[in-house]
Amino acid sequence: MRVDVSITRDDFQAFCRAVFKTNRSTRCRARRLLMHGVLWVGLVAGLSTALAVTGLRFDLDVKTSAVTLLVFGGLFYFFVRRAQARVFPADSGTILGRHSYEFGHAGIQESSEHTESLIRWSGVRELRETDTHFFIMVDRNAGCIIPKRDLTSPGAERHLKSLLTALIQVSSRVHR
């Protein structure tokens, strides 16, 4: 079976969201929340103690607090977006753009304007599905992106899913 797709920035973002959502464990999330809670409580306690010891007073009104919060929030948003833009794939690179996937018994033959590769079925870890995409995962944070909008024929989604599931299962039994 052959599938031709066009991968956009939105598709790549959906892939990243799927990767981060799946790879976060509940324990890590709880640990991170606890760490942030301890950090903020410690920061408030430390500042309160320092102000009490030195006798300094700050009289902040609501307007000053709101403006300060907006300025720091805006700066944080700006720098986070700038950092994300630096690691985002280029429009003319190897990730975004037209890709062709050929699913055969040897593996997945992928080709694009700049690359051509074969991913053996033994290298495929799992098939993930969202409402809008199929992701053929070859590592924790790497995989093939197949937008469902490019599967235009009736029943193509169901056929592709059953084919990929069968080929991945056969490979996992053979390579145990």
- Model pLDDT for residues 100-119, shown as the tens digit of each residue: 999 988 899 999 988 999 99
Total H helices, total E strands in the chain: 4, 7
The residues with which 142 forms a beta bridge, in sequence order, are 139
Q: Are strands 116-120 and 126-129 parallel, antiparallel or unpaired?
A: unpaired
Cα-based torsion angle of the residue sequence 152, 157, 162, 166 in order, rounded to the nearest 10 degrees: 70
DSSP state of 153: S
Q: What is the structure's pLDDT at 118?
A: 94
pLDDT band at 145 (very low <50, low <70, confident <90, very high): very high
- Model pLDDT for residues 14-71, shown as the tens digit of each residue: 998 888 876 555 556 677 778 878 888 888 888 788 777 887 776 767 787 788 888 9
Q: How many other C-beta atoms lie within 10 A of the C-beta of residue 73?
A: 10
Q: How many other C-beta atoms lie within 10 A of the C-beta of residue 108?
A: 21
What does the mean pLDDT of the chain come to?
A: 84
Question: In angstroms, rounded to a whole number, what is the distance separating the alpha carbons of residues 59 and 81?
Answer: 33
Domains of the chain: 2-17+95-174 (2.30.29)
